[in-house]
């Protein structure tokens, strides 16, 4: 089985985003850093869905559901962090 160049690029992207997430996590705390980490997680979800699960060619509903869920969770986490700071 030959390795697809797309999968190699996706794998490298996942590695870079994971390293970036760890570095951001070690940089301290704050709402902006949490947003950056969640943005990296959203990027990883997109790479997994489109690259490894081959949802680029799936019906828009399935792709939207799978990519929308991490977005909703990320927004809820940021909202929770923001509300916690406001109290």
The pTM (predicted TM-score) of the whole model is: 0.84
Closest by CA position to 49, among listed 30, 32, 28, 64: 64
* pLDDT at position 30: 85
Alpha helix ranges (H) inside the chain: 5-26, 31-47, 60-86
* pLDDT at position 2: 61
pLDDT tens digits along 19-56: 999 999 898 888 899 999 999 999 999 999 988 888 88
- Return mean pLDDT, the chain: 90
pLDDT, average across residues 7-23: 94
Give per-residue burial for 28-66: e unless 16+ CB within 10 Å, then b: eeeeeebbbbbbbbbbbbbbbbbbeeebeeeeeeebeeb
């Amino acid at each position: 089985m030959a390795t697809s160049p797309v999968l190699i690029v996706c794998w490298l992207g996942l590695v870079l985003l994971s390293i970036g997430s760890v570095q951001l996590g070690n940089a301290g705390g704050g709402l902006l850093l949490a947003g950056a980490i969640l943005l990296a997680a959203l990027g990883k979800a997109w790479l997994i869905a489109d690259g490894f699960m081959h949802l680029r060619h799936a019906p828009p509903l399935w792709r939207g559901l799978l990519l929308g869920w991490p977005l909703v969770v990320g927004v809820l986490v940021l909202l929770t962090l923001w509300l916690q700071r406001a109290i």
